[in-house]
């Protein structure tokens, strides 16, 4: 059963049943209390809810204690469909889609809402900014019916339906995880910061350890003072010492023989922790023992998730020591190892690589099969093929890969060639890469006095796009597998005390009572198998999950 949902600013709204084609199957039902109406219909019918945006409608329902089983997120789906049609980045709101259907001027999407820490009111994390009411029932249902027709006309409609379902489920999970929060021990966090950084400055400047390092860096350069957090000042200091550097990135500095280098590297690492996860971050984002970021499903062009504020996807390993389960509870941490190489084995149709993908260690299996037992060389070859690392030491390894696994090699090569030619490529389920931009090639052509060769600039831009599309077809499919795993696991955990509390690319954390940890680990394994079957059918490729049951996130394998 399908039920369309619209909301108003007073907590009410309207419901309307729809048929399988998205057409109205009954009258619009105005409701004064939307949460109560949704809760009653959820219990009675378990429908698939059709709404404009789960990020807007679901949070107030969840705060009222209403959880729904499934939904169709119109805005997320519109973005997928526009991309599939080569119109990536056009406005995706229901209002914009309705305008395209009716021939009216298409309004721009509203600007993204700024990040908002939990503060003293949990609702502030999720509530939308004040604005006009959402779309009416007619616009929503017409746009939804049009989406169903466009999905049916997709290159692989069955796969695309799974993509839409996983993306929509992700919107529900993102809200639920943000509301639940990741258990966080503020006192442990303080201990870590004191251990790493020393005491905070009483006047608001860098903590003691950073101040000491900055002084030692200045001494190493023979100057009285130097702002070690300033790349420009560091470059000038190295230049005065006779070392010309293109930038101050860690990998560049590690190749430099100068007494300041180890000090600068340590300073950069600690400075990043202080600014990104220091005392100010803790005060803003951790409340009542929970870190509550706002997750953005499909926030990256490949379909990977992002976050809006809080830096949840960049928690340093040392800071993870503050992520501690509640008393009597445990974390079940699942990490999909070698995910992208296994995806290539599954989607390429290369039977020999797929057979290797049935092993627990894909690189070791490749080494035994084609690389004379040299696991490192097999890994270099496979990663080089997927990421476009085609020079240097990778050349002979890639030659072996091309010879032994020509179908897999040809799969990523075809994606690269399509990208170089300006074409669009798709993931396994149908997510489409964004169009390329000429970038500096256009700049070179526009300025005849620049001295740049326009043809050479175009070639470099084409090669860059080819590297992007080469990996897009794999990374985006890996994101789809992970999203399907997450959606399936949510269903496995329904009705239990266990809660999803964290998701990052190919890693998921479940917080559960200690006595349920083993059952949750089994549920995660089942969800991984189900995700493999849904995406790839009867494939010999395995997608093993490394499972840890721990009290502290930092202890996970």
Q: What is residue 134's predicted lDDT score, i.e. its pLDDT?
A: 53
Residue 6 β-bridge partners = 14
Q: What is residue 168's predicted lDDT score, i.e. its pLDDT?
A: 98
Q: What is residue 260's predicted lDDT score, i.e. its pLDDT?
A: 96
557 has pLDDT over 90: no
If we measure between CA atoms, which residue out of 114, 121, 55, 285 comes closest to residue 189?
285
CB 556 within 8 A of CB 333: yes
Dist CA 158 CA 534 (whole Å):
10
Give 171: exposed, middle or buried? Use CB within 10 Å, 0-12, 13-18, 19+: buried
Strand order in the sheet with 499-504: 499-504, 507-513, 329-336, 545-550
Q: What is residue 171's predicted lDDT score, i.e. its pLDDT?
A: 97
Q: What is residue 238's predicted lDDT score, i.e. its pLDDT?
A: 95
Q: What is residue 458's predicted lDDT score, i.e. its pLDDT?
A: 78
- Range of lowest pLDDT (173-177, 328-332, 436-440): 436-440
The arithmetic mean of pLDDT across residues 474-493, rounded, is 97
What are 82-141's pLDDT values in tens digits? 999 999 889 999 999 999 999 999 999 988 777 777 643 444 444 443 334 456 889 999
Q: What is residue 88's predicted lDDT score, i.e. its pLDDT?
A: 87
Q: CA 527: distance to chain centroid?
A: 19
Q: What is residue 457's predicted lDDT score, i.e. its pLDDT?
A: 75
295 has pLDDT over 80: yes
Q: What is residue 90's predicted lDDT score, i.e. its pLDDT?
A: 92
Q: What is residue 435's predicted lDDT score, i.e. its pLDDT?
A: 81
Angle in degrees, CA 325, 331, 337, rounded to 5:
145
Dist CA 387 CA 48 (whole Å):
39
57 has pLDDT over 90: yes
Longest dimension (CA), the chain: 80
The arithmetic mean of pLDDT across residues 50-75, rounded, is 96
Q: What is the mean pLDDT of the chain?
A: 90
> pLDDT band at 463, cuts 50/70/90?
confident
Dist CA 14 CA 33 (whole Å):
9
Dist CA 299 CA 513 (whole Å):
31
Architecture of the CATH domain 292-316+323-337+480-555:
2-Layer Sandwich (3.30)
374 has pLDDT over 60: yes
Q: Give buried/exposed letters for 218-229 (b at 16+ CB in 10 A, else e).
A: bebbeeeebebb
User: Quick one: residue 237, left, alpha or beta (phi over 0 = left, psi -120 to 50 = alpha)?
Assistant: alpha
CB 264 within 8 A of CB 253: yes
52 has pLDDT over 70: yes
Q: What is residue 447's predicted lDDT score, i.e. its pLDDT?
A: 40
440 has pLDDT over 90: no
> pLDDT band at 309, cuts 50/70/90?
confident
Q: What is residue 41's predicted lDDT score, i.e. its pLDDT?
A: 96
Percent of the chain scored above 90 by pLDDT?
81
The arithmetic mean of pLDDT across residues 280-306, rounded, is 93
Dist CA 361 CA 366 (whole Å):
9
The arithmetic mean of pLDDT across residues 505-523, rounded, is 97
What are 205-223's pLDDT values in tens digits? 899 999 999 999 999 999 9
Instruction: Tell whether domain 187-282 is in CATH 1.20.1060.10.
Output: yes
Q: How many CB atoms lie within 10 A of CB 436?
A: 19
CB 553 within 8 A of CB 508: no
Give 514: exposed, middle or buried? Use CB within 10 Å, 0-12, 13-18, 19+: middle
Angle in degrees, CA 410, 415, 420, rounded to 5:
120
Q: What is residue 455's predicted lDDT score, i.e. its pLDDT?
A: 67
180 has pLDDT over 90: yes
CB 308 within 8 A of CB 327: no
Q: How many CB atoms lie within 10 A of CB 138?
A: 14
Percent of the chain scored above 70 by pLDDT?
92
Residue 296 β-bridge partners = 306
Measured between its terminal Cα atoms, the distance across the chain in Å is 43
């Amino acid at each position: 059963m399908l039920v369309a949902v619209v909301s108003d600013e007073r907590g009410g709204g309207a419901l309307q049943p729809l048929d399988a084609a998205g057409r109205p199957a009954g009258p619009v039902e105005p409701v004064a209390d939307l949460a109560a109406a949704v809760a009653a219909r959820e219990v009675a019918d378990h429908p698939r809810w059709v709404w404009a945006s789960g990020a807007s409608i679901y949070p107030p329902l969840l705060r009222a204690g209403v959880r729904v089983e499934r939904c169709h997120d119109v805005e997320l789906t519109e973005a997928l469909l526009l991309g599939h049609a080569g119109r990536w980045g056009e406005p995706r709101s229901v209002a914009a889609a309705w305008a395209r259907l009716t021939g009216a001027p298409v309004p721009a999407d509203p600007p993204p809402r700024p990040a908002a820490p939990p503060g003293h009111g949990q609702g502030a994390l999720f509530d939308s900014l004040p604005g006009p009411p959402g779309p009416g029932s007619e616009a929503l249902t017409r746009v939804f019916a049009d989406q169903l027709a466009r999905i049916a006309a997709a290159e692989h409609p069955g796969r695309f339906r799974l993509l839409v379902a996983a993306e929509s489920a992700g919107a529900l999970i993102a809200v639920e995880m943000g509301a639940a929060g990741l258990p966080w021990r503020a006192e442990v966090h303080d201990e870590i910061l004191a251990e790493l950084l020393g005491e905070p400055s009483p006047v608001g400047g860098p903590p003691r350890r950073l101040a000491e390092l900055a002084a030692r860096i200045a001494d190493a350069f023979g100057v009285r003072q130097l702002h070690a957090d300033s790349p420009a000042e560091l470059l000038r200091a190295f230049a005065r010492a006779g070392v010309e550097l293109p930038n101050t990135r860690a990998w560049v500095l590690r190749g430099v023989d100068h007494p300041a280098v180890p000090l600068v590297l340590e300073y950069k690492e600690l400075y990043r922790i202080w600014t990104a996860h220091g005392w100010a971050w803790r005060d803003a984002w951790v409340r009542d023992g929970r870190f509550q970021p706002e997750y953005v499903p499909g926030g990256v062009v490949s379909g990977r998730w992002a976050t809006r504020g809080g830096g949840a996807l960049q928690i340093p390993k040392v800071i993870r020591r503050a992520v501690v389960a509640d008393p009597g509870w445990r974390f079940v941490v699942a990490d999909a190892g070698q995910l992208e190489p296994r995806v290539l084995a599954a989607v390429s149709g290369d039977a020999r690589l797929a057979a290797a993908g049935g092993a627990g260690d894909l690189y070791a299996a490749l080494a035994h099969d084609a690389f004379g037992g040299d696991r490192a060389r097999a890994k270099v070859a496979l990663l080089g093929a997927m990421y476009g690392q085609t020079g240097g030491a990778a050349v002979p390894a890639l030659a072996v890969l091309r010879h032994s696994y020509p179908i897999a090699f040809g799969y990523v090569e075809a994606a690269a060639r399509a990208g170089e030619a300006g074409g669009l490529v798709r993931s396994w389920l149908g997510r489409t890469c964004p169009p390329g931009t000429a970038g500096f090639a256009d700049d070179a052509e526009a300025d005849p006095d620049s001295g740049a060769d326009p043809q050479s600039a175009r070639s470099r831009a084409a090669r860059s796009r080819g590297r992007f599309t080469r990996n897009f077809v794999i990374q985006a499919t890996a994101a789809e597998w992970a999203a399907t795993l997450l959606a399936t696991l949510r269903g496995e955990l329904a009705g239990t005390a266990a809660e999803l509390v964290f998701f990052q690319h190919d890693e998921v954390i479940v917080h559960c009572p200690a006595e349920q940890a083993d059952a949750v680990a089994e549920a995660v394994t089942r969800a991984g198998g189900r995700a493999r079957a849904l995406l790839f059918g009867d494939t010999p490729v395995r997608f093993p999950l490394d499972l840890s049951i721990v009290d502290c996130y930092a202890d996970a394998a």
